[in-house]
Chain A
Amino acid sequence: KQEVTQIPAALSVPEGENLVLNCSFTDSAIYNLQWFRQDPGKGLTSLLLIQSSQREQTSGRLNASLDKSSGRSTLYIAASQPGDSATYLCAVSSNTGKLIFGQGTTLQVKP
């Protein structure tokens, strides 16, 4: 059974810092991995999608990497801003299309 773990569960950093969020999964037979952002009580906003054949994706200050063989992904956020404060969710896709989510990392960026 696929399990997704995100570390750390919570993170507080001063504005301007570069930071890394970690995601690990137990079964390397994934179709893709997607990072989402969720603001309190709100919906999920897709940040980056990495297909199983890809190693990384970049969008602005965000860079996500994928190492299928070791079951790991990282989300790198450069020059963090208070507006980046949110919960970040990692999810892997199975062959039925089901997304299996981690519990998320709650990020607080202090001005």
Chain B
Amino acid sequence: EAQVTQNPRYLITVTGKKLTVTCSQNMNHEYMSWYRQDPGLGLRQIYYSMNVEVTDKGDVPEGYKVSRKEKRNFPLILESPSPNQTSLYFCASSFRGRGENYGYTFGSGTRLTVV
């Protein structure tokens, strides 16, 4: 089944303790991206990657890191989490051809609470 898999689904952590949220897709998509969803603010892009070893900042990159060493994986790293990073996080991927993205598939989400 074609899908984007995120882990973990739920995570409660303490301020300052480094964590990684994993994202993997099995559709050979070039494009991958991370979003966070907050009440009243909607979905906002954190980072994106056009292909392996190519990453760039989205609208709200502060406090986050990403890497794209393999095409299928795009982990989101919080080096020193803070309570304002409590949110619902989504990973998404897309096939990209002729400069366009052809539809996005989203993961099931990771609900992160930082206390």
- In the complex, whether A96 has a CB less than 8 A from a CB of chain B is yes
Taking the closest CB of chain A, its distance from the CB of B5, in whole angstroms, is 11
Task: Decide if the interface of chain B is mainly helix, strand, loop or mixed.
Answer: strand
Contact residues of A between 72 and 101, Cβ < 8 Å to B? 89, 91, 93, 95-99, 101
Instruction: Give chain B residues whose Cβ lies under 8 Å from the Cβ of A43.
Output: 90, 106-109
Complex Cα–Cα for A41 and B88 (A): 8
Number of A residues whose C-beta is below 8 Å from B?
24
- In the complex, whether B64 has a CB less than 8 A from a CB of chain A is no
Task: Decide if the interface of chain A is mainly helix, strand, loop or mixed.
Answer: strand
A-B contact count (CB 8 A): 63
Q: Is the CB of B111 within 8 A of A96?
A: no
Instruction: Give chain A residues whose Cβ lies under 8 Å from the Cβ of B99.
Output: 95
Task: Apart from A41-B109, A91-B43, A93-B104, list 9 A-B contacts with CB within 8 A.
Answer: A41-B88, A43-B107, A43-B109, A46-B105, A46-B106, A95-B99, A97-B33, A97-B101, A98-B45
Q: Is the CB of A98 within 8 A of B108?
A: no
| CB-nearest residue of chain B to A95 | B99
Taking the closest CB of chain B, its distance from the CB of A38, in whole angstroms, is 9
Q: Is the CB of A98 within 8 A of B104?
A: no
Complex Cα–Cα for A44 and B33 (A): 14
Instruction: Give chain A residues whose Cβ lies under 8 Å from the Cβ of B24.
Output: none
- By a beta-carbon cutoff of 8 Å, the part of chain A in contact with chain B is 31-32, 34, 36, 41-46, 49, 51, 89, 91, 93, 95-99, 101-104
Known pairs A42-B108, A43-B109, A44-B90; A96 contacts B56 (CB<8 A): yes
Instruction: Give chain A residues whose Cβ lies under 8 Å from the Cβ of B31.
Output: 97
Q: Is the CB of A49 within 8 A of B58?
A: no
Q: Is the CB of B100 within 8 A of A32?
A: yes
Complex Cα–Cα for A109 and B109 (A): 25
